Amino acid sequence: MQKFYETPQNYPETRPASQRKADFDEIYQQFADEKAQQQSERCLQCGVPFCQVHCPLHNNIPDWLRYTAEGRLRDAYEMAASTNNFPEICGRICPQDRLCEGNCVVQSGFGAITIGSIEQYVTDKAWEQGWITPFMPPSERAQSVGIIGSGPAGMAAAQQMREAGYQVHLYDRYPTAGGLMMHGIPNFKLDKTIVTRRVEQYQQSGVVFHQGVDIGTTMSFAQLRGQHDALLIATGVYRARGLDLEGEHKENVVKALDFLTQHNKGIFESSEVEARLSAAGKIVMVIGGGDTAMDCVRTAIRQGAKRVMCVYRRDKKNMPGSQREVKNAEDEGVEFRWLSVPVRFYGAQRVEAVDVQAMRLGAPDRSGRSSPTPIEGEVAQLSVDMVITALGFEPEALPTLFAEPQLRVSKAGTLQVDKQMMTSLHGVFAAGDIVRGASLVVWAIADGRDVAQHMMHFMEQQRECAA
């Protein structure tokens, strides 16, 4: 419990920036066994572990850190997997600096325990050793569940219900399962084989995947509802927020998700990236300061952009994205223009230049961060070949999407649910971003696990009523 005094904080080594920006492989190397054990020994084993409190899944972090320190890696994995369906994914992409590690008691003066890296190490070891196997239920139930969306919320719910013996069917409009884990997050953060091996585990466990099914088009919502005893809507949110600037619909102004999805599709389908959505040889401006913006700037660098700029209206301290992601982007050559807002596009058919207004920080807004205000007369004009907007996502008009007007939607455009996470339609539940708005993968997993409990309770009540 005193190891943090003598053992400094240490993360797995990253490949050199000059090397990693030339490919799309993951940038972090795996912990050596000895290093993982040493870092785990730094944990204080707090009586009130703030790391666990601030984890959306309330992972038993001190317990699996202790097991790792003791060399009990299988116990460590089983403890991590008891509260998290995808610990190897969360270990790679969670913003730990804002969640568990950001609230670690040791971080004050000594550097937080490297929780995410150890979580990834333990789970990767579990895969290597063959400890992760199909989750076969002790007995089969006749009741079936239909889940719309095979992202983290849908897949987490699917596992919980399949383990209980329910017949689980996942429907997704994309040809491959995984949602944004597969189509939105770049390979250098999350190698696609990490996702596909989980999908294969689900298939071996009896979860049935229906790919290329667009509910409301390929299959009606009523038809799907008639095939199952309960439904879960876990589609996520995909509509990009706009800039509200004249010219934002020109051909070289592209949405972040279109840019990332097209690139990822090129990787796992070995297809050419559409020229309009390629950054190769271009001066690229990415507008936004979240993790999606960081995914875009780092992808553009790897595609061979001539120059990549990130424009964000607040300063580095107040940006919503992970600070580690910013550091990685800086190392790879991204130029950050903090306290800047685009105010005008120039160009006839294409945007050729952007006026960028300098900002200063004022009083805090409702988010608690300082509100940016313009500095009179300070405007810079920057030449661009491509603009990528990464300003966040909001829900689609769901009743139109599913041709189901009885689905109630909130003022924010998210689906309305009650305390049991059921929508306005009996037996139809919703979870993840489609309920809470654009958020983190870890929150989607937590929501998927929660809704599964409510759905199983509902189906048990329905079974008892029918008996």
Q: What is the CATH number of the domain that holds 166?
A: 3.50.50.60
- 170 and 223 fall within a common domain: yes
Q: What is the pLDDT of residue 266?
A: 74
- 46 and 75 fall within a common domain: yes
Task: Give the end of a domain, one of 365, 389, 413.
Answer: 389
Taking phi first (over 0 means left), then psi (-120 to 50 degrees means alpha), and beta for anything else, what does residue 333 get? left
Note whether residue 404 is domain-resident: yes
Note whether residue 165 is domain-resident: yes
Note whether residue 270 is domain-resident: yes
Task: Give the end of a domain, one of 104, 129, 154.
Answer: 129
- 211 and 340 fall within a common domain: no
Note whether residue 78 is domain-resident: yes
Structural domain of 265 = 241-389
Q: Is the dihedral of CA 443, 448, 450, 454 positive or negative?
A: positive
- For residue 71, give every residue at least 6 positions away whose Cβ sits within 8 Å of its Cβ, in sequence order, or none: 37
Cα–Cα distance, 259 to 247 (Å, whole number): 18
- 220 and 269 fall within a common domain: no
- 459 and 402 fall within a common domain: yes
Q: What is the pLDDT of residue 421?
A: 98
In this structure, what token pair is assigned to residue 164?
């209980």
- 168 and 95 fall within a common domain: no
Note whether residue 174 is domain-resident: yes
Note whether residue 201 is domain-resident: yes
Q: What is the pLDDT of residue 271?
A: 66
Q: What is the pLDDT of residues 405-448, one digit of tens each?
A: 888 888 777 899 999 999 999 999 999 999 998 899 999 999 99
Between the CA of residue 339 and those of 155, 312, 357, 445, what are the distances in Å? 39, 6, 8, 34
- 248 and 217 fall within a common domain: no
- 327 and 376 fall within a common domain: yes
Q: What is the pLDDT of residue 269?
A: 67
Enter the pTM of the model.
0.93
In this structure, what token pair is assigned to residue 142?
């006749």
Name beta bridge partners: 401.
none
| CATH, residue 19 | 1.10.1060.10
Amino acid identity at 353:
A
Q: What is the pLDDT of residue 397?
A: 57
Q: Checking DSSP bridges between strand 167-172 and strand 144-148, what pairing results, if any?
A: parallel
- 9 and 123 fall within a common domain: yes
- Nearest one of 296, 275, 295 to 285, comparing CA atoms: 296
3-state secondary structure of 411: coil
Q: What is the pLDDT of residues 444-465, one digit of tens each?
A: 999 999 999 999 999 999 988 8
Instruction: Check residue 96 and report its DSSP letter.
Output: G
- 65 and 199 fall within a common domain: no
- Rounded to the nearest 5 percent, the helix, strand and coil shares of the chain are 40, 20, 45
Q: What is the pLDDT of residue 28?
A: 92
Between the CA of residue 213 and those of 11, 126, 147, 150, 209, what are the distances in Å? 42, 33, 12, 11, 10
Phi, psi of 377 (to 5 degrees): 80, 0
Note whether residue 138 is domain-resident: no
- 87 and 160 fall within a common domain: no
Burial of 227 (0-12, 13-18, 19+ CB in 10 A): exposed
Cα–Cα distance, 256 to 275 (Å, whole number): 15
Note whether residue 408 is domain-resident: yes
Are 39 and 7 in contact, with CB atoms under 8 Å apart?
yes
**Number of folded domains that form the chain:** 3
- 233 and 346 fall within a common domain: no
Are 239 and 394 in contact, with CB atoms under 8 Å apart?
yes
Mean pLDDT by 10 residues, the chain (467 residues): 79 93 92 91 92 96 96 97 97 94 90 95 97 95 97 98 98 92 93 96 98 91 95 87 86 93 78 84 96 96 97 91 92 97 94 96 81 94 96 69 81 88 96 92 98 97 85
